[in-house]
Chains A and B, each alone.
Chain A
Amino acid sequence: MCHCGLNIAGSVDCEEVAEYATTLPHVVLAQDNQYTCSDQGQAEIKNDIKEHKLNRVVVASCSPRLHEPTFRKACEEAGLNKYLFEMANIREHCSWVHLYDRKSATEKAKDLVKMAVAKAALLQPSEEIEVPIARKALVIGGGVAGIQAALDLADTGYKVYLVEKEPSIGGMMARIDKTFPTMDCSICILAPKMSDAGHHPNIELLSNAEVTEVKGYIGNFRAKVLKKARYVTKDCSACGECAKACPVIAPNEFDVGLATRHAIYTPFIQAVPSTYIIDMNLCLNKQGVIVCDKCTKACERQAIKFEMKPETQELEVGTIVVATGADVFDPSGLPNYGYGKFPNVITSLEFERLINAGGPSGGHLIRPSDKQIPKRVAFVQCVGSRSDKNGRLYCSNVCCMNTIKDSLLIKEHWPDTGIYVFYVDIRAYGKGFEDLYKRAKKAGVVFIRGLPAEIVEDKKTHNLWLIGENTLQNELYRISADMTILSIGLEARKDSEMIQRLLTLSRNQDGFFLEAHPKLRPVDAATGGVFFAGCAESPKDIKDSVTQASAAAARAGILMAKGKVTVEAITPIIYAGKCKACGLCVKVCPYNALVLDKDRKQVSVIEAACGGCGTCAAECAFGALTQNHFTDEQITAQIDAVTEHNAKKKIVAFCCNWCSYAGADFAGVSRMQYPPNVRIIRTMCSGRVAPKFIERAFVRGAGAVLVTGCHIGDCHYINANYQTQKRVERLWKKMEQNGLDRERLQLLWASAAEGERFASKIREMQPKVENVKTEEIEKARKVFEKALGGS
C-alpha cells in the first residue's frame, strides 16, 4: 500500500486500507510505505517475498500503465514469476479524482484492493515467448526528423527504409529561409543531410511513395509501400532541359504557388533524389496516348518513360519511426484578416519563400499587389493558435520565434522598414531565444500586445489598415502597413488518421500522436516497436525535432540491438475438451491467429501472431477459450469483489488498457473530479468483455455497468471493438425485451486523451445509480440469472 507521498495519502487513509487488506482472504501480510516504487520500497517487497514465502503480490499504488513493469521486475528478482503480481490503481482512479471526499475515497480504495486480491488469488505463473526482431527500420516521413532518425539508425548499422510522400525529402525545413535563433540558412544546413540520406548505403530512399498497409507486431512488421510512378528513371541527370521544353505551366506547390513549374519538374534545386518527376494530372499525355513528346525529345539520356507504372514494395521491418510532420493552418477561414481576398496579406510560410534567395522573388521581399518592396510590414501572431473560436486551442510553439527571426531578416536587408508585431504573448523560452527577441527590439521592431480585430484594405493602393486594441495601454490602434504577414500555426496532418489506423496509434484531442508516457517515454508509441519524431507528435522547432529523431532512433536501436523481444503472455488458453469447433473465435480474431482444424474439431493458436486482445475468449459460448492473465475466473472474481457489498450503488466499469483505461488515468492526472461509485476492471481490449461478465454484474446486483473502449476505427487491436459494440447492442435488446432499463448498461468510446469524457460519463450515470429501485435490481437479477444458468 503506497502513500505516494501525499498523492494517495492526501485523500485516502492508507493505514486503514492496509489494515483492511489483512482481513481479506489469502492475505498474510499488508504493509504501507511512503514510495513503493523507490529502491527501498522494492527492496521491501523482495524481502517480504523471501521472508514470508509469498506466492502472490498486490501493490496498491498508481496506474499499472506506469509502474507495473517496475514491480513485476522486483517480483522476478525475488524469484516470483511476474505474472503472480497484481496492481490496484488507487491514485489515478481514486485519490486524484476524489480529492475532497476522504471517506468515500478510502472506501473505494478498499474495494479496489479487494478486487486486486481476488484476482491475484487466481493468477497463474506464465512464461513469455521470445520472438526475433528484424534488424531493419522503416521511417515514415522524410522531413528533418525523418532524415535524422534514418541517418542515426543507418549509421548504427541497421538497414533503413525512408518513405516520403513528396517527390523529394526535406519537408518543411527545406522551405524555410533561415532558422532561429542562430539565423543559419535552413537549406544550407539541411541539404548535406538530405544528400547523406540519399546516398547512405544503409538507407533505401522511397520518395513519391506512401505506406498503404502495416501488418504484424513489434519486431516483425510487414509494410506495403506504394511507389507512385515518377515517369523519369534514375538515369536523369537533373539538367532541366525537359522542363524548359514542357509547354504546361502550373503553380509550384513548394513555393506555395508563388512561382511556377512545368508538368515535368523538380520541386526545388537541392531536391533528393534529384530525379525529375512528371505530374500526370497536368501532363498532356493521358491513358497511354503520347500527345506531346517535347520532354522526351529534350532528354539526352532518354530517362523519360511514360509507360512507368506504380509499384508496391513489401518491406519486413522490426521497428517503425513515425516522422510524418505537421500541416500549416489555413487562415482563409478567418474573414477578418482577409487572407485570400487582399493580395498583400500573406502567411508566414509564403513569407519564407519570398525572403528566400532561391524563392520566386530571388530573396527580394516584394508585396504581391505591385511587386514593390514594402516600407511598413505587420506581423499578426497566433493565427490559428491559442483560440477556441478561430483555429486550434494549443500554442504552436514556433511562430513567435519565427516572427522575431523574420523581422530581423527584414531589418537586415532593408533597415528602414517599419515593422509591427501584434502578439498575445511572446514566448521566447529556449536557448538563445530571449537574446534574439532583445535584438529584434533593439533593431526597432515594434511589439504591440493585442491582435488586430480586423484588417481593412485600401482598394486603390492595396495598403492595409490594422485595427485593434493595444491591451497594455488600453487604447485602440489603427496602423497602416504595406504588407501583413499572418504567423500561422501548425496543425496535425490531415492524413494522420490513416497512419493512426495503419499502426493502431492514439492521437490527442489536438490530433497529434500520443506518446506512451508524457514524461518517461516521450518518443515511444503505445504500440510496441513504433516511435515518434518531429511535429507528428506535437508542434516543435527544428532543434527539438532533431533531438527527438535521435532519441527515437536510439529507442528503436535498443530493440534491434537486442535482436529479440518477449511477447506478453496474454495469449488464449484453449480447453480442447469443451471446444465444439464452431469457429466463431476464428472469425472474430483480428490477427488471424487462430486456426480451426475441422477434421480434428480443434482450434489452435499461433502465439507469435496473437495480439492479446482476448476477443476470442469473449466470443466462445462454451468456455473452451480464455485469455491468459485475464481469465474468466479472474474477471468474475473481480466483479464478485465489487458487488459483495452495496452493489446497488456501484458502477462496474470495464476499461480497455490502451484507450479508456488510459483516459481514466488521464482524468486522474488532470485531477478531474467525478463521483466515487465507479469500480474499474482493466482488460486489454473492450473486446474481452464477454456478455456473461456484464450479466454476472447485474445478477450480483450492480447498479449499472459501463463498458468502455477505443473509438470505433481506433481500436488498438485493429477492429476488436466492433465485437464489443455488437455484444452490448445484443444485451440492450435483451434488456428492452425483458422490460429492463437499458440505461443501466452504458457503452462509451473514449480515447487516452479524453479524461473529461470519461469523467462526465460517470457524472452522468451517477443519478441513475442513485435512483435505481430495488425491484429493478431484482428484476435484472432474475432475467440474467436465467441467461447465466446455461453456461
Chain B
Amino acid sequence: MPERIKHAPLDKDKIKQPRAEIHLLKDQCKGCGYCIEFCPKKVLEESDEINIKGIRPPRIVDESQCIMCGFCTAVCPDFAIFVVEKPPTENAKHA
C-alpha cells in the first residue's frame, strides 16, 4: 500500500514497550564483542573503559531501545550480560 503515512498512530500512547534493565558484569567480560555484533537494536557499543582483565567491555548506548529479545544473554560465552524487565510506570497494557 503506497500511501505515505503522515499521522502518528492514535494508539501510540497506549503501547507500552517492555522497559529493559540491562546488567553488565563488566569484569566477567572477555571482550569477544558478540553482544555488540548481534544486538538487533544496536543497544550496545564498545567502551573506552578497561576492566580487570585489561579489555574493553561493552557500554549501553540507549537502554530504552532494548526490546528484551535476550539474544545477548544467549550468545555471551562468559555469562556477563543479562536483562530484566523494569515494572511499567503506567498501567497501560502492553499491546
Q: Interface of A with B (CB < 8 Å)?
A: 166, 247-249, 251-260, 284-286, 289, 291-292, 294, 327-328, 330, 332, 339-340, 343, 346, 349-350, 360-361, 366, 368, 371, 493-494
A385 to chain B minimum Cβ distance, whole angstroms, is: 16
Give CA–CA (A451, B59) in the complex, Å. Answer: 57
A-chain residues with CB within 8 Å of residue B40 when the two chains form the complex: 284-286, 291-292
Q: Interface of B with A (CB < 8 Å)?
A: 1-12, 15, 17-18, 38, 40-41, 67-71, 95
Give CA–CA (A294, B9) in the complex, Å. Answer: 24
State whether A249 touches B17 (Cβ < 8 A): yes
B-chain residues with CB within 8 Å of residue A292 when the two chains form the complex: 40, 67, 69-71
A-B complex: 8 closest residue pairs judged by Cβ atoms:
A257-B5, A284-B40, A247-B67, A292-B69, A340-B6, A253-B1, A291-B71, A260-B9
A-chain residues with CB within 8 Å of residue B9 when the two chains form the complex: 251-252, 255, 257-260, 360
B68 to chain A minimum Cβ distance, whole angstroms, is: 7
State whether B69 touches A294 (Cβ < 8 A): yes
A187 to chain B minimum Cβ distance, whole angstroms, is: 16
Chain B's closest residue to A255 (CB) is B9
Chain B's closest residue to A289 (CB) is B38
A-chain residues with CB within 8 Å of residue B3 when the two chains form the complex: 253, 256, 327-328, 330, 349
A-chain residues with CB within 8 Å of residue B11 when the two chains form the complex: 259-260, 360
A-chain residues with CB within 8 Å of residue B95 when the two chains form the complex: 249, 260
- The interface centre, meaning the residue of B9, B11, B41, B67 with most chain A CB atoms within 10 A of its CB, is B9
Contact of B7 among A247, A248, A328, A350 (CB under 8 A): A350
A-chain residues with CB within 8 Å of residue B4 when the two chains form the complex: 330, 332
State whether A251 touches B5 (Cβ < 8 A): yes
A784 to chain B minimum Cβ distance, whole angstroms, is: 52
- The interface centre, meaning the residue of B1, B38, B95 with most chain A CB atoms within 10 A of its CB, is B1
B-chain residues with CB within 8 Å of residue A289 when the two chains form the complex: 38
Chain A's closest residue to B38 (CB) is A291
Give CA–CA (A360, B10) in the complex, Å. Answer: 7
Contact of A327 among B2, B18, B70 (CB under 8 A): B2
Chain A's closest residue to B68 (CB) is A247
- The interface centre, meaning the residue of A249, A251, A294 with most chain B CB atoms within 10 A of its CB, is A249
What are 27 residue pairs bridging A and B, where the CB atoms are less than 8 Å apart in the complex? A247-B67, A247-B69, A253-B1, A255-B9, A256-B5, A257-B6, A258-B7, A260-B95, A284-B41, A284-B67, A291-B40, A291-B69, A291-B71, A292-B67, A327-B3, A328-B3, A330-B4, A340-B6, A343-B7, A346-B7, A349-B3, A350-B7, A360-B9, A360-B11, A361-B10, A366-B10, A368-B10
Chain B's closest residue to A340 (CB) is B6
- The interface centre, meaning the residue of B3, B6, B12, B68 with most chain A CB atoms within 10 A of its CB, is B6
B2 to chain A minimum Cβ distance, whole angstroms, is: 6
Can you add 18 more A-B contacts, CB < 8 Å, to A248-B67, A361-B10, A368-B8?
A: A247-B68, A249-B95, A253-B3, A257-B8, A259-B9, A259-B10, A260-B9, A260-B12, A260-B15, A260-B95, A289-B38, A292-B40, A328-B3, A330-B3, A330-B4, A360-B10, A360-B11, A366-B10
